[in-house]
């Protein structure tokens, strides 16, 4: 009897190792993206930090499993960005279409003399991207 008890924990560990990779996996595909955000005339937006939030338009898998927004910060010098995080650091965006907002670190609207307020709200932002079209070239109306 002692022999079977001694091997039982090893068998459980092996079984758990076989089952875990298939359990609780991420239900969404992520895509590495990059791009640039500037005014319509191509000049950089003089805001630091300029936070871009990408709101996926993908449908939830179920009532508890929704695609997560992605976040990045654009460089003040030229508006470029490349490291977007959604679920894990620098994992990219959920594949598909996204609404894009421009905010400060707290998620609040930027100075309206620099960025019109509609860009801070996913319901009103005119910025929309598709991950199939990377690198993105986002243009913002000058106030």
From first to last of its 143 residues, the chain has per-residue pLDDT tens of 444 444 444 333 333 333 334 345 678 899 999 999 999 999 999 999 999 999 999 988 899 899 999 999 999 999 999 999 998 999 999 999 999 999 999 899 999 999 999 999 999 999 999 999 999 999 999 99
Measured distance CA(127)–CA(81) in Å, rounded: 15
Torsions phi, psi of 116, nearest 5?
-55, 145
> What global pTM score does this model have?
0.81
DSSP letter, residue 62: B
A 10 A CB-CB count for 138 gives: 20
CB-based contacts of 90: which residues, under 8 Å, 6+ apart?
83, 84
Domain edges within the chain: 30-140
């Amino acid at each position: 009897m002692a022999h079977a008890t001694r091997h039982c924990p090893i068998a459980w560990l092996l079984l758990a190792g076989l089952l875990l990779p298939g359990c609780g996996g991420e239900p969404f595909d992520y895509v590495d993206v990059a791009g640039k955000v500037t005014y319509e005339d191509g000049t950089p937006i003089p805001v630091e930090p300029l936070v871009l939030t990408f709101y996926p338009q993908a449908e939830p898998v179920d009532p508890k499993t929704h695609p997560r927004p992605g976040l990045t910060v654009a460089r003040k010098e030229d508006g470029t960005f490349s490291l977007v995080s959604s679920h894990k650091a620098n994992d990219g965006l959920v594949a598909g279409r996204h609404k894009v907002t421009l905010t400060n670190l707290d998620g609040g609207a930027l100075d309206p003399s620099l960025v019109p307020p509609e860009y801070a709200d996913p319901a009103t932002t005119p910025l929309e991207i598709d991950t199939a079209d990377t690198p993105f070239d986002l243009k913002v109306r000058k106030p």
